[in-house]
Amino acid sequence: MPPVGQGGQSQLNAAWIGSLLAPAAEIMRAYPKWSKTDRAQVVTLFKTKFYPILNQMSFYNGNNDLTQIEALMSMAVFNEDKAEFQLGLERIKGRAPAYFYLTSDKADVKDYGGSDASKWDSPLQWVDGLSQESCRDHGHHAQFGLAAALHAAEIAWNQGVDVYGENATRYIAALELMAGELLKGEARFATLCPASKTGHDKTRKDDFFDTWQVGYNHYHNRMHQPLPNTGELIRAKITSGGRSDWNIFYETFTHNIQSDK
């Protein structure tokens, strides 16, 4: 049986905060005036205050759990904690197909951590790259889920684990579908989501977050895969006006590597 999620907003708050504190601690590791005692206190903070909350998988929308995974894996790297890092990898294996759909998936992959097909806001079509929150509001929460999944893959990549490769078809499809729909403006998701859902709410202003560059840098710049919609969205909306929020704070600075189309 898949694990059943638990907890609530406290899990997401810990994930948002932890996903920023852990990379900052890793950057500070090389600072010569940061004492061993102070570093040890941060390790203890992560282990005693954050692990217990992050290890409780949120039963809310999948972007919560993905952000928890991102924070947990980042803290595990700083703490040199192989067990917690492995736990993050195991949760990605369950959550990725429960959040990003492929037509080749078995039906029961959506039944994970308290989620199931009923939590997908009644899409009109099940297509490759559809996310659990595409029809909730692809212009907001779905980008948070995408960002956290890509951050976790980048953390793993820097530790020699290829989560990107394991999920290449899934993540590329998600990037291209979401980017393509955001580029359509008012016509977004017209054929995929019921008009009553915010994914197709013409009165809702789309948010354009700095979510895209990490995935584009890997799949296009490193792996030379074509991602035309993602590249166009970055050039048209993200580089000049992408928003930072919660766990989305560094993509343009670290990963906006320009290449050909």
- At residue 50, the pLDDT reads 95
Using a 10 angstrom Cβ sphere, with 0-12 exposed, 13-18 middle and 19 or more buried, the burial of residue 239 is: middle
More confident residue, 147 or 243: 147
**Residue 198 DSSP class:** G
pTM given for the model: 0.90
One-letter amino acid at 189 equals F
Q: Is pLDDT above 80 for 51?
A: yes
Q: What is the pLDDT of residues 52-78, one digit of tens each?
A: 999 988 877 888 999 999 999 999 999
- At residue 1, the pLDDT reads 39
What region does 246 belong to: left with phi over 0, alpha with psi -120 to 50, or beta? left
Q: Is pLDDT above 90 for 95?
A: yes
Q: What is the pLDDT of residues 29-38, one digit of tens each?
A: 889 999 999 9
What's the rounded Cα separation, in Å, for the pair 143 and 134?
Answer: 9
Q: What is the pLDDT of residues 201-235, one digit of tens each?
A: 454 566 787 888 999 999 999 999 999 999 999 99
Nearest to 151 by CA among 212, 86, 81, 220: 212
What's the rounded Cα separation, in Å, for the pair 216 and 171?
Answer: 10
H or E stretch covering 15? helix 9-28
Nearest to 144 by CA among 54, 11, 12, 50: 12
- DSSP lists the bridge partners of residue 115 as 112
Q: What's the distance, CA 6 to chain centroid?
A: 19
H or E stretch covering 154? helix 141-158
Domain boundaries, the chain: 9-255
pLDDT classification of 243: cutoffs 50, 70, 90: low
